[in-house]
Structure 1
C-alpha cells in the first residue's frame, strides 16, 4: 500500500484551545477561551459542522503568550465524553510519558469513547519544559529515534500479548494489556500521529504512524514532504495519511480576510514571537539537512506558531475551498484548522466553505494510484 489515494474526501480537524492566548501571538481580539465549558460547546459545534477530528495541544508551563494550559490527555477524554462522533487527538511528549502507561490510558479512553481517542507524538520543542522537570533534553535526531520506539511500543501493546521490546530508550518485558482497545472494523485501534517536518519525522511517519502532521506549507513544501513520506511508507509496505496545518481566515470578501491577516501581524506580541522563534528554530537548524520544523520560518510566519499562514487558507469561502481542494489533489488527507474566533468561525466554515469543498471534490477526476512495475 502507498499514500497516493487514502480517501475520496479531505477531512477536517481543529486545534483545541486548551491553552490560553489563542492561536496567534498577537494583541488582536481573539474570541476564544481555554476553559472547559467553552471547549465542550466548541467540540459539539465542530462535530455538527463537518469536523471529524480535534487536536488537544500540549504545554506544561507558561511560555510565549500562553499563560495557562490544560493537560492534553485528560482534556481530550473530557471532550470525548461530551461528544458523539468527534475523534480527539491528544498531543504527548515521549520523554515525559512511559509508552506502556500511555497505552493503558489510551485503551481506557478508547473504551469510554467507543473508539475515538488518538495520539499525536510531539518529539519535543521547548527545551525548558524538559530541563525544568529534571528530564534530559536529547538532540533532534535522538528525540525522533525515541519517538520511533515510542510509536512501536504503543502499537505492539495495543495489538499483541506478551510484548517484548528491547530498544535504546524503552524496555518492555512479557507485558500484556487487558483490555486492549476495541479494534473493530468501524473503530480500529487508536490512530497514531507523528508531528514534524524534518527528514527524521518523515521516516517515523512512513514507517510507524497512521498519520503525519505537517506545519503550514505551500504547495511546493507539501509536495516535497509527501514524496519523502510516500517513499518511506512504500519501503515499509504500509500507508500513512498526511495532515496539514492551516490558519483559516474565511470572510465574505478577500479584502476583509487580508485586512484581518494584516491586523494580526501588525499587532503581534513581538517579544513573545521573538522568544518563541529563538526557542524553536534551533530544532530545525540542528538537523543535517536543515529540514526541521521552523527552520526557515519568518517572524510573520511565527505569529501563528505552527506556520499556519503559510498554507494561505485566506480569502472568500470560494477561494479557501479552491485552495483546500488543490491541496487534496496533491495528496493532503486532512486540514488542521486554526481560527481567530473559534465558535463563530467554525460555524461559518461549516456553512460556507465545507459545502463548496464537497462540490469541488465531486467535480474532480479521481486521484488514481499509479501502476507498479
Structure 2
C-alpha cells in the first residue's frame, strides 16, 4: 500500500528502563530530568515523535519510580520545538471533558504537536488498589468508544451534547480548539477485535506491537479493508533496536541483553500477575520467545547489522508502517547510534524506491 516516508520516534523512559533494570551502563531512572534530557536529545537527533506511556504505578515493581504522563506532556510541550508529543490515556482515569481540555491546552502550548494515544488498560492493580472498578475487556472498549466519541467532537471545536450509557454531556464546548489544525491526532493500539474496530472507527493511526513482518502485514490488511469516514488509517510499529556493524556483534549484544533479563524475573512476574487475563496482547507476546523490551520489543526483528536493520525498516515501510516507535538500551547512546547509522541508510534506500 502507498505510504509516506518513514518517521522515527522514541518511547519516553517512563519506567526507568526499556530493557533490563540492571544494565550497568543504563541505570534505571524514570525521573523528569532524565526524560526531559532524553526527549530533547531525540529532537536534536531528528526523531519526530515521543510516546509517553501511561501508568500510575510502575508495573515492573511498584516500589520503582514511574513518570506521570500528562503533566510531563505539558512540560515537554513547553521545552521542545518540533517533536510530536503522544500522550497515552486510559479512559477510566479521566472524564473525557477534562482530558479533552488538558489535551487542547497541550496543543496550544506545543504549537500544534499534541497527540493522544488511547489505550484501554491491562494492569489491574493501579485501578483496584485505588478503588476504581476494572471492568471486563469488552466493557472497557464500550466505555472507550463513548469516551473517544466525546473527546473527538470536543477536539474539533463542536458544541457537544451526548447521551450514552456511560456519559451524559450537555451543551459543552471547549475554547480554544486547536489554532493549528482541525484537531490533535488520535492514535490507538491493541491486539483484540474490539481494539481494531475502535481504531477503524475513531483513530487516525494504529500502533502495532512489535511482531514479524508477515504478522504485521496481516494486521494492516485487516484494518485497511474496514470502512472509514475519515482519511485512510495510518500505522505505527513498536520495536526494540539492537544494531551493530556486523550481525555477529548484534547477536552478541542481544545475548547479553537476554542474560541481564534474568535479573528482571521478579518484575516480569509483577507484570503478568497484574495483567488482565483477557488482554490479547499477552497471548500474542507469548508466541515470541527470548524478547527484549516491551510491546513486542525485539520481536519486530530490528536486530542485526546496520544494513540489515535499515533493510527491515524499509520492508515494514513498504507494507504500510509510517511511524517506528523505538526503544533502546543504553537509551541515549543507542538512540544516537540509530540516528547516525540507521536513519541515513533508510533515507538513502527510500529515495531510490
Q: Indicate the residue corresponding to 1:370 in structure 2.
A: none
Paired position in structure 2 for 1:43: 39
Alpha-carbon distance, 1:102 to partner: 0.7
CA–CA distance in structure 2, aligned partners of residues 96 and 51 of structure 1: 29
Q: Is the 8 A contact 2:207 2:236 kept in 1?
A: yes
| Aligned residue number for residue 284 of structure 2 | 296
Partner of 2:336: 347
Partners of 1:301 and 1:308 within 8 A in 2: no
297-306 vs 110-119, which moves further? 297-306
Report matched runs for 1:237-276 at 5 Å.
238-268=231-261, 269-276=264-271
Correspondence for 1:202? 196
Describe how 1:135-154 pairs up with structure 2 within 5 A.
135-154=132-151
| Matched residue SS, 1:54 | strand
User: RMSD of the alignment, in Å?
Assistant: 1.8
Whether the aligned pair in 1 keeps the contact of 2:125 and 2:274 (CA below 8 Å) is no
Match of 1:307 in 2: 296
DSSP-derived class of the 1:239 partner? coil
Tell me, yes or no, if the aligned pair for 2:85 and 2:113 is still in contact at 8 Å: yes
* Cα contact 1:206–1:238 (8 A) shared by 2: no
* Separation in 1, partners of 2:38, 2:57: 24
Length, aligned pairs only? 348
Query: What is the CA–CA distance in structure 2 between the aligned matches of 1:335 and 1:363, rounded to whole Å?
Result: 20
Identify the range of structure 1 (269-278 vs 317-326) with the bigger mean alpha-carbon deviation.
Answer: 269-278
1:58 aligns with 2:54: yes
* Separation (CA, whole Å) in 2 of partners of 1:36 and 1:26: 17
* Contact kept in structure 2, 1:282 and 1:295, CA below 8 Å: no
Q: Which residues of structure 1 form unaligned runs of 5+?
A: 285-291, 365-373
Residues 1:231 and 2:220 aligned together: no
**8 Å CA contact 2:291, 2:299 repeated in 1:** no
The residue number in structure 2 matching 1:317 is: 306
**Which residue, 154, 157, 168 being the options, matches 2:165?**
168
Q: Where do 5+ consecutive residues of structure 2 fail to align? A: none
1:267 counterpart SS class: helix
Q: 1:357 to 1:61 in 2, by over 3 A?
A: same
CA distance in 1, matches of 2:194, 2:274: 20
Q: How far is 1:320 from its partner?
A: 0.6
Q: How does 1:84-233 map to 2 (within 5 A)?
A: 84-184=81-181, 188-232=182-226
How many angstroms apart in 2 are the aligned matches of 1:131 and 1:99? 21
Report deviation, 1:30.
Answer: 5.0
Report how far residue 315 of structure 1 moved: 1.2
Q: TM-score normalized by structure 1? A: 0.88
Residue 368 (structure 1) aligns with: none
Check 1:161–1:235 CA distance in 2 against 1; reply closer, same or farther (3 A cut). Answer: closer
**What is the rounded CA distance, in whole Å, between the counterparts of 2:13 and 2:70 in structure 1?**
14
Instruction: Pick the aligned partner of 2:274 from 271, 279, 294.
Output: 279
CA contact (8 A) 1:25 1:305 kept: no
1:212 touches 1:240 (CA, 8 Å); kept in 2? yes
Paired with 2:48 and 2:223, the residues of 1 have a C-alpha distance of 23
In structure 2, C-alpha distance between the alignment counterparts of 1:278 and 1:142, rounded to whole Å: 21
